[in-house]
Amino acid sequence: MAESNAAIEQGLAHEGAEVTGAATHATVEHHAEPMLLGFAPPVAIVSASMLVLIAILVWKGVPRLLAGGLDARIAEIKAQLAEAKTLRAEAEALRKEYADKIAGAEKDAVAMLEHARHEAGAIVAKAEADAAESVARREKMAKDKIGAAELAAVTDLRNQAAAAAAAAARTLIAANHSADADRVLVDRAIAGI
């Protein structure tokens, strides 16, 4: 602040010296300011030309053109925003649709898995039943074969025993019975009939 006060005082002193010096000199030099046609300073000319330019621009409708261009740009931006909103709504709908499809696919997968488990259980149960039936059938066949073998063995043993008994009886009869004893036996057998 002190420096600006000093500068002001120095400027005033300098002006005072010029005034004093000008008073001592009879001829004062004035710098002439340019004038247009001798009556208008340049600032007035520039201001007037700007006013004329602005008036011409207003008269030709430049503000309307600018406003129209801005309005068109605003309308274009609004259309882009509306399109963006539409695209966003479509994207949300697609996202929801795919989320629903994923949920449906998960439900289908769970249902298919449950169905597969049910079918696997049924197949295992059928296989167990078939295996049990096959084992029972083979067991029965084995028992039947054993029974048939036993029957064949018993029959063969009986046949052998009968053959041995017949041979033994023949030998005993031939040794112990004579022709007279045979007649008596035959007569008894005929009488018993």
pLDDT value at residue 176: 72
Q: What is the mean pLDDT of residues 145-156?
A: 88
Give per-residue pLDDT as tens, 82-140. 999 999 999 999 999 999 999 888 889 899 999 999 999 999 999 889 988 998 898 98
Give per-residue pLDDT as tens, 56-84. 888 888 888 888 889 999 999 999 999 99
Maximal C-alpha separation, the chain = 216
**DSSP labels for 19-83?**
HHHHHHSS----PPPP-BTTTB-HHHHHHHHHHHHHHHHHHHTHHHHHHHHHHHHHHHHHHHHHH
Torsion-angle region of 38 (φ positive above 0: left; ψ -120 to 50: alpha; else: beta): left
pLDDT value at residue 10: 59
pTM tops 0.85, yes or no: no
Q: What is the mean pLDDT of residues 161-186?
A: 78
Calpha distance 44→65 (Å, rounded): 29
Cα 49 to its chain centre, rounded Å, is 71
- Of 3-17, 54-68, 126-140, 160-174, minimum mean pLDDT range: 3-17
